[in-house]
């Protein structure tokens, strides 16, 4: 069975794809920090950040529509945050001065725009970097190995588990003739239980396979990263632009 | 053949599952160097359980010696370097994000240098004809491709004994044929547990028939696989190719 993979555009050959995964990771983090700390009234800065991100997306040759569709994951976060806006404003009028900008709508748009920009950058990062490379970049940057292993196993097995669920659903459909809604819900609960047991069993088998190949509790990997001159140029240029937007423009 | 030294020597092996079910009883078996041994038997006969004993994943009562060295808790890493075990489900065997990482997993655990690991990975992948899949993610591959890479993950550790559990299950005829050729091309000791009796006929020189945790027959491949009464008494059947070919089929080189 086929699924869409989170890094399905990571095989394109573009200047952005060719960058070192660490550089992209560092850039994304810096970008997010800049965006988050942009003062609320600096619309122009936010617009420039947007243009910068858009340019990078165009350079990466990842379809724009794909990126925009993916960016909808930001919507629930924006909604959750905006629930608190009315309360925020009351505190704001006493605590810190927002002056004439003290309006609910402005705060809302600010949060929406900032989350959107951050999400776009993250989508750009994951769709231009193969996940294994991203994991290795995280490892190089001293993220604890246990987190990386969890992510790595999740990336490897989420589709195996989804396949199992889909097969079970097909088998259920093949034998389902009528039955009440309540009955089908009960069956679904059973399926989740079975899926849990199978996952548990698989975990045990994977561990056996790891032990068979000499696993002693410490994961070791090799990376073939090489920090090239163009990575350096990109990092300098991109960070420079961010500084320019933040402190000089607008 | 029998002049070769013993690769595996199993003496009075007994094993019962934690719930008390008897899985293996009184197994005595010698496997010789460079030999290719088929382990056949019905479902639940204990084939997989026996294989899991060969590299010390399971440890029952009795003794198992690998090239004269008895398996105990102290020498497991050493033993697992010598005995490469390929599991039936390649999704369990391939657990790293890329093919390279998976094939490099064993060698890296052997604390080899970076260059050596790269060399071993390339060699192992070439042997199963999968070298250009090195940077692919395992979950993008077809079943046959995963199966071949599973074998490479073990070959990269340069084992002296290759143990395969149902290597041909779910393979299409083309890839099954490739597997048979591969098994006949290598000269290290092979232990193959399978229901695929035709595969046994083509790749193994000797067969043990396991049922209900006991060895019920042992002998040359042709002798065992031609014995209709014996096979049918243990839920197996004489492979069709035995009837088709009048002359003795030619098993693996060794």
Q: Which domains does chain B have, with CATH numbers?
A: 1-67+199-254 (3.40.50.300)
Interface residue of A214, A216, A225, A226 to substitute, partner B, most B CBs within 10 Å = A214
Tally the C-alpha atoms within 13 A of residue B70's C-alpha that lie toward its C-beta: 8
- Using the CB atoms, write b or e for A142-177: b if 16+ within 10 Å: eeeeeebbebbeebbbebbeebbeeebeeeeeeeee
Neighbours of A85 (CB within 10 A): 16
Per-residue pLDDT at B33 exceeds 90 = yes
CB-nearest to B95 from A153, A216, A222 is A153
Q: Residue A178 has what DSSP assignment?
A: S
- For residues B198-229, b (16+ Cβ closer than 10 Å) or e, as one string? bbbbbbbbbbbbbbebebebbeebeebbbbee
CB B183 within 8 A of CB B135: no
8 A C-beta contact, residue A44 and residue A249: yes
State mean pLDDT over B94-120: 92
Interface residue B167 vs chain A (CB under 8 A): no
Q: Which site among B82, B97, B116, B133 would you substitute to test the A interface, given the most A Cβ atoms closer than 10 Å to its Cβ?
A: B97
pLDDT at B30: 94
Place of tokens 């010696």: B65
Whether residue A208 and residue B87 make contact (CB cut-off 8 A), yes or no, is yes
Parallel, antiparallel or unpaired: strands B22-32 and B214-220: unpaired
Binned at pLDDT 50, 70 and 90, residue B191 comes out as very high
Residue A117, SS3 per DSSP: helix
Q: What is the mean pLDDT of residues B2-6?
A: 74
Contact A202/B91, CB-based, under 8 Å? yes
Q: Closest chain B residue to A206 measured between Cα atoms? A: B92
- Residues with Cβ < 8 Å from A242, sequence gap 6 or more? A30, A31, A34, A49, A52
The pLDDT assigned to B247 comes to 56
| ipTM of the modeled complex | 0.83
Inspect the interface and report whether the beta carbons of B139 and A208 lie closer than 8 Å. Answer: no
Lookup result for tokens 């997989």: B48
Interchain contact, B104 vs A160, CB within 8 Å: no
Q: Which residues contact B107 (CB under 8 A, 6 or more apart)?
A: B116, B117, B120, B121, B156, B157
Q: Say how far apart CA A120 and CA A54 lie, in whole Å.
A: 9
Average pLDDT of B221-231?
A: 91
Residue B23: CB partners within 8 Å, gap ≥ 6? B15, B16, B17, B46, B49, B213
Per-residue buried b or exposed e for B43-58, using 16+ beta carbons within 10 Å of the residue's own CB: eebbbbbbbbbbbbbb
Render pLDDT for A2-45 as a digit per residue (tens, 0 to 9): 565 667 788 788 888 889 999 999 999 999 999 999 888 788 88
The first and second tokens of residue A214, run together, are 């000499």
Measured CA to CA in angstroms, residue A162 lies from A167, A190, B91 at distances of 9, 16, 13
Instruction: State residue A40's pLDDT score.
Output: 80
Question: Directed axis angle between helix A181-212 and helix A145-175, to 10°?
Answer: 140
Mutation to test the B interface, candidates A163, A209, A215, most B Cβ within 10 Å: A209
The pLDDT confidence band at residue B248, using thresholds 50, 70 and 90, is low
Q: Where are the beta strands (DSSP E) in A29-85?
A: none
Looking at the predicted structure, is the pLDDT value of residue B252 above 90? no
Q: Is B89 left (phi over 0), alpha (psi -120 to 50) or beta?
A: beta
Output the pTM of the full model.
Answer: 0.79
Rounded CA-CA distance B52/B166 in Å is 13
């Amino acid at each position: 069975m086929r699924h869409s993979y989170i890094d399905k555009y990571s095989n394109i050959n573009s200047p952005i794809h060719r960058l070192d995964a660490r550089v992209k990771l560092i850039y994304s983090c810096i970008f997010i920090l800049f965006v988050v700390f942009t003062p609320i009234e600096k619309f122009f800065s936010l617009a420039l950040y947007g243009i910068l991100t858009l340019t990078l997306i165009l350079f990466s040759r990842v379809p724009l529509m794909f990126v925009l569709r993916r960016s909808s994951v930001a919507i629930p976060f924006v909604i959750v945050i905006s629930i608190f806006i009315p309360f925020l404003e009351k505190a704001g009028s006493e605590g810190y001065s927002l002056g004439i900008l003290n309006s609910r709508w402005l705060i809302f748009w600010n949060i929406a725009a900032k989350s959107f920009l951050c999400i776009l950058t993250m989508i750009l990062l994951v769709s231009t970097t193969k996940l294994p490379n991203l994991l290795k970049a995280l490892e190089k940057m001293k993220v604890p190995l246990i987190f990386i292993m969890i992510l790595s196993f999740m990336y490897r097995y989420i589709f195996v588990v989804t396949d199992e669920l889909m097969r079970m659903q097909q088998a259920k459909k093949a034998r389902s003739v009528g039955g009440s809604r309540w009955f089908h819900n009960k069956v679904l609960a059973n399926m989740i239980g079975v899926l849990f047991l199978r996952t548990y069993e698989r975990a045990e088998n994977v561990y056996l396979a790891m032990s068979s190949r000499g696993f002693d509790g410490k994961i070791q990997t090799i990376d073939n990263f090489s920090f090239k001159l163009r990575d350096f140029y990109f990092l300098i240029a991109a960070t420079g632009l961010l500084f320019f937007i933040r402190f000089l423009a607008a | 053949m029998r002049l070769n030294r013993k690769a595996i020597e199993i003496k009075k092996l007994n094993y019962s599952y934690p719930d008390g079910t008897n899985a293996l009883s009184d197994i005595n078996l010698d496997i010789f160097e460079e030999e290719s041994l088929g382990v056949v038997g019905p479902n639940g006969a204990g084939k997989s359980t026996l294989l899991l004993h060969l590299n010390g994943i399971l440890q029952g009562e009795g003794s198992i010696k690998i090239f004269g060295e008895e398996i105990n808790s102290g020498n497991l890493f050493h033993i697992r370097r010598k005995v490469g075990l390929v599991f039936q489900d390649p999704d369990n065997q391939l657990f790293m994000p890329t093919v390279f990482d998976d094939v490099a997993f064993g060698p890296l655990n052997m604390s080899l240098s970076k260059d050596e690991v790269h060399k071993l990975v390339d060699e192992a992948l070439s042997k199963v004809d999968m070298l250009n899949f090195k940077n692919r993610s395992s979950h993008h591959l077809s079943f046959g491709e995963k199966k071949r890479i599973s074998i490479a993950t073990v070959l990269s550790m340069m084992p002296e004994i290759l143990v395969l559990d149902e290597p041909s299950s779910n393979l299409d005829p083309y890839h099954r044929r490739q597997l048979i050729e591969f098994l006949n091309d290598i000269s290290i000791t092979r232990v193959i547990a399978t229901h695929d009796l035709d595969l046994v006929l083509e790749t193994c020189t000797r067969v043990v028939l396991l049922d209900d945790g006991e060895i019920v027959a042992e002998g040359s491949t042709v002798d065992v696989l031609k014995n209709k009464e014996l096979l049918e008494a243990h839920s197996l059947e004489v492979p069709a190719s035995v009837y088709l070919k009048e002359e003795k089929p030619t098993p693996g080189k060794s």
